Amino acid sequence: MKSLVIRGGRPLRGTVSVPGDKSISHRAALLGAIADGETRITGFLRGEDCLSTLRCLGELGVAIEDDGEEIVVHGRGSEGLDAPKVPLDVGNAGTLMRLLAGLVAAYPIQATLDGDSSIRRRPMDRIAIPLRTMGAEVSGQGERCLPPISVQGGDLQPITYRSPVASAQVKSCVLLAGLRSEGVTRVIEPGPSRDHTERMLAGFGARIEQRGLTCELTGPAELVGRSVRVPGDISSAAFHVVAGTVVEGSSITVEGVGVNPTRTGLLDILEEMGALVTRGPVSQADAEPVADLRCATSALRGIGIGGDLIPRAIDEIPIAALAACRAEAATVIRDAAELRVKESDRIATTACLLAAFGARVEAHEDGMTIHPGPLRPAEVESEGDHRIAMTGVIAGLAAEGESRVRDTACIDTSFPGFVEGLRTLGADVEEVTE
């Protein structure tokens, strides 16, 4: 088992870059697979989750080349996807499970989607319900449709779906399923969610329109392969930004980060807390805005985090909770019950992790209250969750002395090069085998 030993209390300084955005990498490969012609992707995240996307597409008959610099996806276009001969293994990728189910449902094929032990605990009823309404056959384990799930698609009808939650994964699943349907597939959400799918569908040539919280796709869509440049992942940059904010004496620049406004919830949280975080001039990577992020050690104040902010920061809540440990008053996080069904129960695992580092945290059904206080060195478990593991490492850097985070191989799911990037900033982090 891999673990990380962290010797904290040293300032972090310098410039670092982060791997390509995971959400955008998934979508670029999936849309490229069903487009006419080649799709060339630069900046593709070669983490385990996105490599699972490439493997699953290969099982569906999609030819993919990777020269280490560029991913080339040879789109199937009018040929469609092949029925897979084996179950499609998504590994630990919840986004892939939900988006792939929608993509498969659009074609007259049957596929079984499965994953690791964490995926098998994640309910899929949120996508099963709209897919069944469209005419797909979807079955899983128990009332919540736990994986493995079976999807039989083809000849789907467009629907108007009112999602009970603001979820880019649910929205994207329905839109992908509607790509070959005659008419308008419409998704109405109760609040804003990530819009990477809508932006990318438009870039590939789909007729798609966004009006407030309603998204409409007119099918059938004829997608055309294209070049896609993936910006740096803001969910990865979040760990460096918070490190620069809470580790005494630090000043960090993270280059080339995607700052899509549906994803910048953490930056808004930190700015409201009084953090010294600035965004450089915004440029464009295709349809996605990109900027450098600069941060420095800051005096923080406690705030309330909830409502529409949560979907824009859902993956960053654990590291935001760490920042709250250094504030001058309590921070209350609410409306985040979705964290209960991530790679781990992130409300419980975040509270446990921060408590080990000396924080006083009260877990609630839909969030937590974090009372500030000094951090002390600790030995903690990742619980197999990459974001919990990385939050533990940053907590160790903010605490004086030696800390240890166990079971850290999971970090490669989303952030290969995480440790190396911290070392370039002056962090003392050692990988050990236990």
Q: What is the 3-state secondary structure (H, E, C) of 24-64?
A: HHHHHHHHHHHCECEEEEECCCCCHHHHHHHHHHHHCCCEE
In the set 292, 315, 385, 407, the catalytic residue is 315
**Average pLDDT value for residue range 52-76:** 97
Count the residues in the chain.
434
Q: How many CB atoms lie within 10 A of CB 85?
A: 6
Average pLDDT over residues 275-304: 94
Per residue in 42-53, pLDDT (tens digit) is 999 999 999 999
In sequence order, what are the beta bridge partners of 369?
332, 362
Q: List, in order of start, the domains of the chain with CATH numbers.
A: 2-20+231-433 (3.65.10.10), 22-229 (3.65.10.10)
pLDDT of 8: 97
pLDDT digits (tens, 9 = 90+) for 103-117: 999 999 999 999 999
Average pLDDT over the chain, rounded to an integer: 97
Q: What are the tens digits of pLDDT across the range 128-162?
A: 999 999 999 999 999 999 999 999 999 999 999 99
DSSP string computed for 229-240: EPPBPHHHHHHH
385 is a catalytic site residue: no
Query: Of 235, 245, 321, which Cα lies nearest the Cα of 11?
Result: 245
**What confidence tens digit (pLDDT) does each residue in 241-288 have?**
999 999 999 999 999 999 999 999 999 999 999 999 999 999 987 889
DSSP string, 169-189: HHHHHHHHHTTTSSEEEEEE-
Alpha helix segments (H runs only) across 184-283: 196-203, 234-246, 265-272
